[in-house]
């Protein structure tokens, strides 16, 4: 690994000041499970590594029924799934947190880092998207917010300016009769990178059948994670059914823009997008009805 | 010039102090600076688990942790698993079940399995296989490793008989 400097600011103000000065040559370190490997492979070559795990706002992790879930950008996956309340309220998020990598990875890797790494196949991102997560970003010009689906702009690229830092994510409290699920296809049982992934979110009317709200997101079938609004449009206002889910799955297949690479072919990925959307809609429905 | 930086942390129950470069991983600190070569470099990119240590109670890949990140933290390595000259039940069962051949993966497996039993004292076979998915072995085919882990779980949790092992742990 090339020589680096290591800084560990203890406050957000310190971190912003540091990045204002060194941002162009710096890379933020949370769990390090992507960054340290990239440094070794020469894929990213910062002069300064900024360890943000000592900054309280990046390590916040709390839920309340009014404001929802506050998820600091550096909170590791294992902290998320070891919280029984969060497991109950956001099972779709837990699906991803317990799939990423391995136990060792999950003790370090964070949803924030997963977003900032910007992989099209990021497992953490589709659940954040369908659960309407909002990103809080801090920089020398102040703070800004934007929805998770706008964060990743291309493979390995995000909306962050070099001097900016992702502070935290906020997920709204889950409405009654709502549910979400994330599934992915990998050739082995664990540890792989998604060939295709899908997250679905459904909110039902009081009749427990009509879909009041829906969100569908895909991973690994386009240069960025996708929010498939055509699938949602096909679902909203209609009674949930297998046939309806197949319509949404078809919309997902059409929206997918996969490539053929070492993990899978274009046609297989497109097919999987449809399968996984259908299955996650079924899973979201069961969770929305409380019949999981 | 590399800027050597002071690092101090608690290692296997004792305070250590050393100088290291910012780019050194915790694995490099342990092996190359402290001479604790029990943790192995299998892949250097977080896939194989041969470098596993326990950091503040959580098992991590030390190849993917910078040395300087563990300032004031607690680290347990394979060298700290046996206590007072006595083997941990995991180590004893690995021997009894012949759960190692070349032994390169073994320190990582022992550390990860120790963390498993501390988190879940009575894992099922599927629990154990999933937890240990981040530890790769090229020699044994994993079967004897899993038997050893479940047998050790029986010992540490006071059960009479260990969980029965099936092929692959799946129905």
- Tell me which residue has tokens 């002071």: B6
A4 contacts on B by Cβ (under 8 Å): 22-23
CB contact under 8 A, A36 and B63: yes
> Mean pLDDT over residues A138-161, rounded?
97
Tokens 């910062």, located at residue:
A46
Q: Is B27 on the interface with A (CB under 8 A)?
A: no
- For residue B171, CA distances in Å to B123, B125, B126 come to 16, 11, 10
Which residues in A169-188 are b (16+ Cβ under 10 Å) and which e? bebeebeebbbbbbbbbbee
Q: Count Cβ atoms within 10 A of the Cβ of residue A192 and give its class: 0-12 exposed, 13-18 middle, 19 or more buried.
A: middle
Domain encompassing residue A248: 178-289
Q: Do A65 and A34 share a structural domain?
A: no
Q: How many CA atoms lie within 13 A of B63 on its CB side?
A: 21
Q: What is the DSSP letter of B124?
A: -
DSSP for B50-70, please give it: TTEEEETTEEEEGGGSBGGGG
Question: Domain of A20: which CATH number?
Answer: 3.30.43.10
Mutation site, A33, A74, A81, A102, interface B, largest B CB count within 10 A: A102
Residues of chain A with Cβ-Cβ distance to B74 below 8 Å are: none
Token pair for residue A117? 């790494």
User: Do A166 and A208 reside in the same domain of the chain?
Assistant: no
A123 plus A102 within the same structural domain: yes
Mean per-residue pLDDT for B104-128? 97
CATH superfamily of B5-80: Beta-grasp domain (3.10.20.30)
Please tell me whether residues A275 and A190 are part of one structural domain. yes
Q: How far apart are CA B104 and CA B100, in angstroms?
A: 8
Residues A162 and A184 in one domain: no
Distance from CA of A108 to the nearest CA of B (A): 7
One domain for residues A43 and A150: no
**Residue A85 pLDDT greater than 70, yes or no:** yes
Report d(CA B108, CA B59) in Å as an integer: 9
Interface test with A, best of B4, B32, B54, B64 (most A CBs within 10 A): B64
Report the range of poorest mean pLDDT among A183-192, A197-206, A217-226, B32-41. Answer: A183-192
| Same domain as A259, residue A160 | no
Those residues whose C-beta lies under 8 Å from the C-beta of residue A205, and which sit 6 or more positions away, are: A177, A211, A212
Where are the domain boundaries for CATH 1.10.150.120 in chain B? Answer: 89-157
Chain B: give the shortest CA distance to residue A7, in Å: 9
Mean pLDDT for the stretch of residues B146-153: 97
Contact between chains at A191 and B134 (C-beta distance less than 8 A): yes
All CATH 3.10.20.30 domain ranges of chain B, comma separated, are 5-80
Tell me the percentage of chain B whose pLDDT exceeds 90: 90
pTM confidence score? 0.96
Overall domain count for chain A: 3
Kindly report the nearest CA distance between residue A207 and chain B, in angstroms.
Answer: 37
Kindly report the CATH class assigned to B89-157: mainly alpha
Core vs surface per residue B88-115: b (16+ CB within 10 A) or e: bbbbbbbeebebbeeebbbbbbbbbbbb
Question: Which residues 72-111 on chain B approach chain A with CB closer than 8 angstroms?
Answer: none
pLDDT in tens, A136-148: 999 999 999 999 9
Contact between chains at A103 and B115 (C-beta distance less than 8 A): yes
User: Of A142, A171, A200, which residue sits at a domain end?
Assistant: A171
Domain boundary pick from A146, A171, A196: A171
Whether the per-residue pLDDT at B170 is higher than 70: the answer is: no
Burial of A42 per CB tally in 10 Å (0-12, 13-18, 19+):
exposed
Which member of B55, B68, B134 has the closest CB to residue A6?
Answer: B68
Whether residues A166 and A64 share a domain: the answer is: yes
């Amino acid at each position: 690994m090339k020589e680096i400097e290591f800084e560990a600011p203890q406050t957000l103000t310190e971190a912003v000041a540091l990045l204002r000065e060194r941002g162009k040559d710096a890379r933020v370190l949370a769990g390090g499970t992507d960054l340290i490997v990239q440094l070794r492979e020469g894929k990213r070559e910062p002069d300064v590594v900024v360890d943000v795990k000592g900054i309280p706002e990046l390590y916040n992790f709390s839920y309340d029924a009014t404001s929802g879930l506050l998820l600091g950008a550096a909170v590791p996956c294992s902290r998320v799934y070891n919280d029984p309340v969060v497991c109950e309220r956001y099972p779709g998020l837990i699906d991803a947190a317990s799939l990423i990598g391995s136990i060792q990875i999950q003790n370090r890797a964070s949803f924030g880092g997963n977003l900032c790494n910007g992989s099209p196949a990021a497992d953490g991102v589709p659940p954040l998207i369908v659960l309407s997560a909002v990103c809080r970003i801090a920089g020398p010009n102040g703070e800004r917010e934007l929805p998770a689906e706008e964060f990743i702009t291309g493979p390995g690229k995000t909306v962050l300016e070099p001097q900016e830092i992702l502070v935290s994510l906020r997920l709204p409290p889950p409405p009654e009769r709502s549910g979400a699920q994330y599934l992915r296809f990998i050739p082995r049982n664990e540890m792989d990178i998604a060939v295709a992934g899908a997250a679905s979110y459904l909110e039902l009317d009081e009749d427990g059948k009509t879909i009041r709200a829906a969100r569908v997101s895909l991973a690994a079938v386009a240069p960025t994670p996708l929010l498939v609004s055509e699938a949602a449009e096909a679902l909203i206002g209609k009674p949930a059914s297998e046939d309806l889910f197949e319509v949404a799955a078809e919309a997902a297949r059409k929206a997918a823009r996969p490539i053929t690479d070492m993990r899978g072919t274009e046609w297989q990925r497109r097919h999987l997008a449809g399968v996984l959307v259908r299955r996650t809609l079924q899973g979201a429905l069961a969770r929305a009805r409380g019949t999981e | 010039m590399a800027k050597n930086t002071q690092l101090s942390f608690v290692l296997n129950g004792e305070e250590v102090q050393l100088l290291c470069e910012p780019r050194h991983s915790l694995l490099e600190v342990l092996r190359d600076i402290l001479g604790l070569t029990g943790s192995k470099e299998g892949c250097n990119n977080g896939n194989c688990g041969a470098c596993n240590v326990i950091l503040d109670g959580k098992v991590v890949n030390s190849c993917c942790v910078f040395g300087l990140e563990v300032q004031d933290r607690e680290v347990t390595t394979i060298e700290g698993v046996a206590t007072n000259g006595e083997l941990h039940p995991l180590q004893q069962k690995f021997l009894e079940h012949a759960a190692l051949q070349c032994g390169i993966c073994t320190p990582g497996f022992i550390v990860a399995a120790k963390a498993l039993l501390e988190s879940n004292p009575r894992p099922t076979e599927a629990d154990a296989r999933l937890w240990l998915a981040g530890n790769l072995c090229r020699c044994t085919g994993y079967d004897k490793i899993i038997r050893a882990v479940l047998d050790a779980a029986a010992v540490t949790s006071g059960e009479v008989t260990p969980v029965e092992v099936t092929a692959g742990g799946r129905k």
